[in-house]
Amino acid sequence: MAVAGRNRALPVPHAVERPDRVPKARYLDADFHRLETERLWPRVWQMACRLEEIPRPHDCVEYTFGDQSVVVVRTADLGVRAFQNACRHRGVKLVQGRATCEQGFVCPFHGWCYDAGGRNTHVPRAGTFDPHNLETGDIDLVPVRCEAWGGCAWINLDDGAPPLRDCLEPAASALDEWKVESLRTEWWYACRLPVNWKLAIEAFVEAYHVPETHPQLRIPTRYGRRDGAPFDPRAFVDADLRYLRAMSEGMGGMVHAQDVRVAEGLAADLRDSLPADPDAATATWNRELNRAVTRHHRARGADVPDLEDLAARGLALEFFHCFPHWFVLPMYSSASSYRFRPLGPEETLMEIWSLTRPGAGEERPRPEPPEPWEHDDPRWPPIPAQDFSNLPRQQQGLHTHGFRFMRLSRDLEGHVSNFERTIDGFLAGLPHERLLPALHAVNGYPFDKPVLDLGW
């Protein structure tokens, strides 16, 4: 990788030298995977847990990535803090899974104790240790940077990284308008994918694959037009209802079933009175559906944004990427969310949340961590199942000797290039002030994003 400018770059093997060609070794090579573990993951903000996983003061949960373990703690004032999950005596993990630390942490091996703020409170038989091994402060738990945003707790091992929000823009501001902090888990699934983590992410950040992989989501069908046929408002509404049902049933709730019912009720009232002009009919239907969904959920006491206002301001987008590994897919009142973590060079843990908005006084149970399913488990909703059917075949295909690099569409798959080249910036050890513009180029709406100039 050649990086211009005043900052000397560390060497990056298999770098993206041409923006529209991504070397296959980045998805296969064990040394490249180790380099990501050393230079990427410790420097980025990671979504460690949803706050509803730790709803009460002193609730805590373990978050792992690679060989690192972090414990995230809910404070007495419902803030968040985090620590490296290792006793300062001989390194035993203090938390596995979820726990409550109201009485602090006790190492199960030798009984060293820490309060909920990470301060060491007791060393059994302390007199048997030399003083330099028990220096005040040096035996407290090692803190990890932790911030809350968007209904989630985020961690970063790099004390020099910019604040969380700076690293998530412009997605953070757009998702604030969507009121993502009000979303709650309806279900939470996990999948062990036999593919590299970047390959898994890149299957979801372009729409080029949709017509072939997801025929039920083909856009021409959604708009009800047929070759040469005049526009039929009734057919248009029926096509859009089919699309909404497909997104509800096929994604397991990306469009919530309540919103489908609102749309069906609106269609009964509106389909015969839509304008004959296609653009006017589309605008009328979308506007009235946004208003109807907003009214319905506000009547329930749910904290839902004004969907028509979002549309008017160009924020009614259906997919947001927060580098490197977290996605939110909002549609009408609800959303899906994805998180990806590497389990090895060619294995990934992908988690999917279906998120909804509770009404006034409606209590949601604390979500339970899922047992990962295999990628071909028949319980997967149809649309993820279609994506999962492609991914192992792609990972296997990369091993063929004649395949050397991916060839990217400049206009349709630019986000893949921008994402991979941003990773190269981290692997090259560039300072955060140079990486931040690249993060801002990658974060946000990924579909149909062209190849961008990242500054190196």
Whether residue 279 sits in one domain with residue 383: no
Provide the domain limits for residue 437. Answer: 21-43+167-207+318-442
- Tens of pLDDT, residue by residue over 280-314, are 999 999 999 999 999 999 999 999 999 999 999 99
What is the percentage of the chain residues whose pLDDT exceeds 90? 89
Averaged pLDDT, 326-345: 97
- Tens of pLDDT, residue by residue over 131-158, are 999 999 999 999 999 999 999 999 999 9
Last residue of a domain, one of 255, 280, 312: 312
Q: Would residue 356 count as lying in a domain?
A: yes
Residue 228 binned pLDDT confidence (cut-offs 50, 70, 90):
low
Whether residue 279 sits in one domain with residue 187: no
CA distance 455 to 78: 40
Q: Would residue 87 count as lying in a domain?
A: yes
Q: Would residue 34 count as lying in a domain?
A: yes
CA distance 344 to 216: 33
Are 422 and 440 spatial neighbours (Cβ–Cβ below 8 Å)? no
Whether residue 306 sits in one domain with residue 217: yes
Are 259 and 332 spatial neighbours (Cβ–Cβ below 8 Å)? yes
Between 5-14, 39-48, 66-75, 297-306, the lowest mean confidence (pLDDT) is in 5-14
Backbone dihedral region of 111: left (phi > 0), alpha (psi from -120 to 50 degrees) or beta?
left
Query: Can you give the pLDDT at residue 250?
Result: 82
Q: What are phi and psi of 185, to 5 degrees?
A: -75, 130
Helices and strands: H and E segment counts in the chain = 13, 18
Q: What are phi and psi of 408, to 5 degrees?
A: -100, 140
Whether residue 338 sits in one domain with residue 203: yes
Whether residue 248 sits in one domain with residue 196: no
Whether residue 38 sits in one domain with residue 52: no
Q: Would residue 373 count as lying in a domain?
A: yes
Crossing angle of helices 382-398 and 233-250, in 10° steps, is 70
Query: Can you give the pLDDT at residue 122?
Result: 97
Q: Would residue 200 count as lying in a domain?
A: yes
Averaged pLDDT, 18-27: 98
Last residue of a domain, one of 293, 312, 331: 312
pLDDT at 223 over 80: no
Q: Would residue 5 count as lying in a domain?
A: no
pLDDT at 219 over 60: no
Number of domains in the chain: 3
pLDDT at 2 over 70: no
- Tens of pLDDT, residue by residue over 355-398, are 999 999 998 999 999 999 999 999 999 999 999 999 999 999 99
- Tens of pLDDT, residue by residue over 340-367, are 999 999 999 999 999 999 999 998 999 9
Q: Would residue 9 count as lying in a domain?
A: no
pLDDT at 426 over 50: yes
Residue 251 binned pLDDT confidence (cut-offs 50, 70, 90):
confident
pLDDT at 221 over 80: no
Could you tell me the CATH number of the domain that includes residue 174? Answer: 3.90.380.10
Query: Can you give the pLDDT at residue 254?
Result: 85
CA distance 38 to 258: 45
Residue 220 binned pLDDT confidence (cut-offs 50, 70, 90):
very low
User: Which among 412, 405, 375, 325 is positioned nearest to 27, based on CA atoms?
Assistant: 405
Q: Would residue 246 count as lying in a domain?
A: yes
Are 428 and 10 spatial neighbours (Cβ–Cβ below 8 Å)? yes
Are 373 and 380 spatial neighbours (Cβ–Cβ below 8 Å)? yes
Could you tell me the CATH number of the domain that includes residue 82? Answer: 2.102.10.10
Whether residue 50 sits in one domain with residue 37: no
Last residue of a domain, one of 90, 125, 156: 156
Backbone dihedral region of 178: left (phi > 0), alpha (psi from -120 to 50 degrees) or beta?
alpha
Query: Can you give the pLDDT at residue 227?
Result: 56
Structure tokens at 401: 């000797």
Whether residue 201 sits in one domain with residue 324: yes
Are 410 and 20 spatial neighbours (Cβ–Cβ below 8 Å)? yes
pLDDT at 448 over 60: yes
Task: Give the mean pLDDT of the chain.
Answer: 94
Whether residue 201 sits in one domain with residue 326: yes
User: Which among 307, 276, 304, 277 is positioned nearest to 289, based on CA atoms?
Assistant: 307
Whether residue 253 sits in one domain with residue 185: no
CA distance 246 to 260: 10
DSSP 108: T
Whether residue 401 sits in one domain with residue 326: yes
- Tens of pLDDT, residue by residue over 149-194, are 999 999 999 999 999 999 999 999 999 999 999 999 999 999 999 9
Averaged pLDDT, 71-95: 98
Instruction: Measure the CA angle with vertex 173, ends 168 and 179; round to 5°.
Output: 115
Whether residue 109 sits in one domain with residue 85: yes
